[in-house]
Amino acid sequence: MMSLHDPLFADDRVDLDVLRQRAHNYRWAEVEEDVIPLTAADSDFPIAAEIREAMASYIASGYLSYGANHGLPSFRATVAETLARRRGIPCAPAAVFAANSAASAMFLVAKALLQPGDEVLIADPVDFLFERSVVAAGGVVRRFAINVDRGMTVDVDEVEALIGPRTRMIAICNPHNPLGRVWSREELAELAALALRHDLEILSDEVWSDVVFDGASMVSVAALSPEIAARTHTVYGFSKGYGLAGLRLGVVLCPSPAAADRLAEVSHADATAYGVSTLSQVAGAAALTRGGAWQRRFVAHLRAQRDLAVERLNAMPGVRCHAPEGTFVVFPEITGLGLDIDEAALAERIQREARVALVPGSPAFFGPGAAGHLRLSLATSRGLLNEALDRLEAWIRSERREPRAAAEITRPTRRRELVDAAPERPSPTAG
């Protein structure tokens, strides 16, 4: 494991000139130049050299032919073998379906399994894609609470009370966005037992499963038993652990080859109206087979970022922040600020006045259970995160008319100044 200040993720590895052209989705390309965006969960760093080399080698051949409807056979085999070894998911290559991102995969699974009016149990709070994918398929969401004040636990009896004659599926986010909870084997087994007892399908979104801290054990629900695997669609992606969001690559590990065929049918992949770039699949296979060293260093950097953010946020008046077990987002509670303003309006004010962009804990993003929170992404450099937290703390203390614990911030600091002021560190190394 690298030291706290890994040169691979130093301040000068963040190329803001490139990011301001390419990083969209509420990020650098979509905010004013002096705003630091801690918004969409996307990395500010270049991807692993091994992945770049694999893509360059594939392009060098000069051929970009049609791919297979379900995904390249080599890619599907790599996914099946790797996730069987790492997560214990029993999935043959023929049951793997390549999708245009993990988000797209969730929509396809909902479309494949749901009829209009079918109900799906989802957590509250949780990423908006859970509700949106269900609604797009004509389904109805039923929300079960995650009890933040009781260790971020779920009351299984409360979940079971939501099950009715139209309940078709239970959807799990593991690790959980935005809370960062990594569900234990025992918790997953309780939810899976409900699915078995009531004949429900399971959707397990595991796009964050490569970003887990503190020795927490990442358990895939499909690995619990053959009976559970037979009703579970596991969604996996490459945007969080490997920084490949722009390649739009996800995958579904289906309970059977027939279930993968169903995804090809509802996506119209068999009519070539849908399909994943072959170049993206080459990159994904390289990530799984050659990107491990980079990925482990990335997670070590993210753990240090998490520790810094949690410590500093908890030192800010009116803010309370738990340490996530996984993901690279934190979700501080800000009700103690005492501001008579909703989360969306608060985020707008912070962006306008403090020049830091955050994601509001509003129903549109995470459901009603997110009220009173903001979400911050940590996948940036130490200097940029510290600068963003300096600005946020200065703004909060100014609002509360309290002395500033952080250095006085009289104007937004430019990135070049951040780098120049940073302590000396070894030169960045490739890969």
| pLDDT tens readout for residues 313-348 | 999 999 999 999 999 999 999 999 999 999 999 999
Higher local confidence (pLDDT), 426 or 415: 415
Closest CA to 176 of 337, 51, 329: 329
CATH class for the region spanning 7-48+292-421: alpha beta
Q: Cβ–Cβ contacts within 10 Å for residue 117, how many?
A: 10
For residues 351 and 403, what is the distance between their CA atoms, to the nearest angstrom?
A: 21
Residue with tokens 């054990």: 217
Burial of 399 (0-12, 13-18, 19+ CB in 10 A): middle
253 forms bridges with which residues in the sheet? 96, 234
User: pLDDT at position 215, please?
Assistant: 82
CA-based end-to-end distance of the chain: 14
Instruction: Name the 3-class secondary structure at 308.
Output: helix
Q: How many Å apart are CA 47 and CA 49, to the nearest integer?
A: 6
Residues in the chain: 431
pLDDT band for position 150 (cuts 50, 70, 90): confident
Where do the structural domains in the chain lie, given as residue ranges? 7-48+292-421, 52-290
Closest CA to 360 of 340, 336, 381, 332: 332
Rounded mean pLDDT, 77-105 = 98
Q: Are strands 250-253 and 232-237 parallel, antiparallel or unpaired?
A: antiparallel
Say how far apart CA 279 and CA 75 lie, in whole Å.
11
Please provide residue 136's backbone torsions phi and psi, each rounded to the nearest 5 degrees: -60, -30
**pTM for the complete prediction?**
0.92
Whole-number CA gyration radius for the chain: 22
Q: Is the pLDDT of residue 139 over 80?
A: yes
Distance in angstroms (rounded) separating the CA atoms of residues 311 and 307: 6
CA distance 236 to 203: 11
| 7-48+292-421 and 52-290 in the same fold | no
Close Cβ partners of 421 (under 8 Å, ≥ 6 residues apart): none
Report the C-alpha dihedral over residues 377, 380, 384, 388, rounded to 10 degrees.
0
Quick one: pLDDT at residue 65?
Answer: 97
Question: Does the pLDDT at position 425 exceed 50?
Answer: no
pLDDT for 4: 67
Query: What number is the average pLDDT over the span 300-324?
Result: 98
Q: Are 152 and 184 in contact (CB under 8 A)?
A: no
- According to the CATH classification, is domain 52-290 in 3.40.50.620? no
Closest CA to 306 of 279, 324, 281: 324
Rounded alpha-carbon distances, angstroms, from residue 54 to 206, 291, 417 = 25, 11, 35
3-state secondary structure 198-257: HCCEEEEECCCCCCECCCCCCCCHHHCCHHHHCCEEEEEECHHHHCCHHHCCEEEECCCH
pLDDT of residue 414: 43
- Is the pLDDT confidence value at 3 over 90? no
Local confidence band at 144 (pLDDT 50, 70, 90 cut-offs)? very high
For the chain, how are helix, strand and coil distributed in percent, rounded to 5?
45, 15, 40
| 410-to-103, 164, 405, 413 alpha-carbon distances in Å | 41, 57, 14, 9
244, with CB counted inside 10 A (0-12, 13-18, 19+), is: buried
For tokens 């596991």, name the residue.
234
Report whether 198 contacts 167 (CB < 8 A): yes
Residue 194: what pLDDT?
Answer: 98
